[in-house]
Structure 1
């Protein structure tokens, strides 16, 4: 897919020491840049910008389940495109993610990849008979038949389908917000007027981060080659609203997989995990 630095965008709001360690690990790549969007309403973060570390200027507060989280992704991608124009790929992680492979191996895999993007995604059609996962039915109601009340987290069902942008050849897609996008994918998405339409529509949608990037990438014209894989190790408990914390019990499964990052790491609950994940990465080939 071409040369240029790999950019890892970090969305963070807490645990500044953990974020600093994550950034240090990202910087171990041969040609990798860490770009940090830190929520100014969170714990203060002190990172010194350098040739391979950048802080998004004028970062804004991000709230879970609100459009502000999507806007932070979009604003970060635009900043990368404007300020690191020669980049090859852009990856999004949270401040509680952590690499589980050498960064140089991630660089090499993406440089040789036949894909334009890696995103875990599902199509949500108008026909429930086409569903392959119960989540599709949930998101069909969420994005087409519900509206979030302004200034709240509460959503109310509507007796009719909302007038939406998912028509005239534009499909509704849902999935993880943690993306891996080639430079060609990023530039094409940023130039697509669909972005403004979706941002307006999703302002009052529940949990818009689950659909925005997926819908932009899967509706791109010309079509992108998208692998249905986020390259993240994530585990969810039954009916959980947040991923499980990574513990020592996950290590064998992590070691057996090929994901780039693991989430969710919490050093206040399990301070040993970053060292254990470093050991796993060190055991793996760098190419």
Structure 2
């Protein structure tokens, strides 16, 4: 990757109007950037829709089920596609429901000046992710609502007693359940690499992309281990990057996304959420609903016009300080930064 330009990769699955809206806005704010729209939905967006905006589509055969290995596979496939087809120094991996809240050209210049290989929004560690061996389970299709309610009620009654052995719960946007069996103490082996938990939506240099793809293909033991962890898209790529001590990694969000306790999906953007997003150095905010109020889009566009001294600088999160992005640890408590230095230890 010899060019100094950026490539924005949008992982999309719905809302074609919203996809074109964010693609068009990225093009306005970064005229020289490459834009790739990754999706697996027939007819979601067409070449004719994207070409006037200077964007290309990457149609994938991987159908994503949120929270399992398919999301990780899809992200790696998209990065490999970009590495083969796009000449860019930096790759920015985003959800299709992200939207810019900063002048992207100015943000790109700042990323270049900071000179790190990866910006990762680091989450508090959740050892249950890898201390248990996780499977997805399809509930019975007969009377699914009643069955799910009965299982939920039953599990709430016995969960605390059996949590040391088994965990069982349902995703908010998915009819499947996730079953976790605790790995026996005597048979439990440490993860092949140090585990770093963080957002999938990252900014990477070309050499960071090359490093993680090489490790992904060559290190089968690590790959097989992360196939069995919970929500591997929040730890596999991040941990492969951390494993390369030649890479310079910073705990800093690319996109603002705030998760309430026990929610798998970030809070929908409104004016209040945008006010929080404006207090972070993130270049994007998520998640924007298909029927978003025009006032929310207008406010996001206004944030893009802020002067440089009005925008928080890209910098390392300080361990122990409150972060506005990431997962909350308990109801009513804000997200807590782990800090990359602590994560490395």
Match in the other structure for 2:72: 70
1:65/1:153 contact within 8 Å kept = no
Which runs of 5 or more structure 2 residues have no equivalent in the other structure? 139-175, 312-345
TM-score (structure 2 length as normaliser): 0.70
User: Highest Rg: 1 or 2?
Assistant: 2
Q: 1:166 matched to which residue of 2?
A: 191
Aligned pair in 2 of structure 1 residues 97, 53: CA closer, same or farther (>3 Å)?
Answer: same
Measured after TM superposition, the shift of residue 216 of structure 1 is 1.0
* Residue of structure 2 equivalent to 1:125: none
The change in CA–CA distance for 1:227 and 1:243 in structure 2 (over 3 A counts) is: same
Change (3 A) 1:257 1:142: closer
Residue of 239, 245, 264 corresponding to 2:287: 264
- What is the number of equivalent residue pairs in this alignment? 268
CA-to-aligned-CA distance 1:71-126 (integer Å, 9 cap, x gap): 11000100111111x3111111111110101121122112222211100236xxxx
State the partner residue of 1:56.
58
Tell me if structure 2 keeps the 8 A contact 1:164–1:201. no
Q: How many Å apart are 1:235 and its aligned residue?
A: 1.9
- Listed as ranges, the gaps of 5+ residues in structure 1 are 123-132
Contact 1:3 1:111 in 2 (8 A): no
Partner of 2:273: 250
1:143 paired to 2:143: no
Measured in 2, the distance between the counterparts of 1:149 and 1:285 equals 46
- Superposed counterparts of 1:110-189, under 5 Å: 110-121=111-122, 133=124, 136=125, 139-149=126-136, 152-160=176-184, 166-167=191-192, 170-189=193-212
RMSD: 2.7
Name the CA distance, whole Å, in 1 between partners of 2:219 and 2:235.
12
Q: 1:66 to 1:276 in 2, by over 3 A?
A: same
Cα offset, 1:224, TM superposition: 1.1
Q: CA deviation at 1:66?
A: 1.4
Matched, 1:219 2:220: no
Q: Which residue of 2 aligns with 1:46?
A: 46
Show CA shifts across 1:120-148 (max 9, x none): 236xxxxxxxxxx4xx2xx3122232321
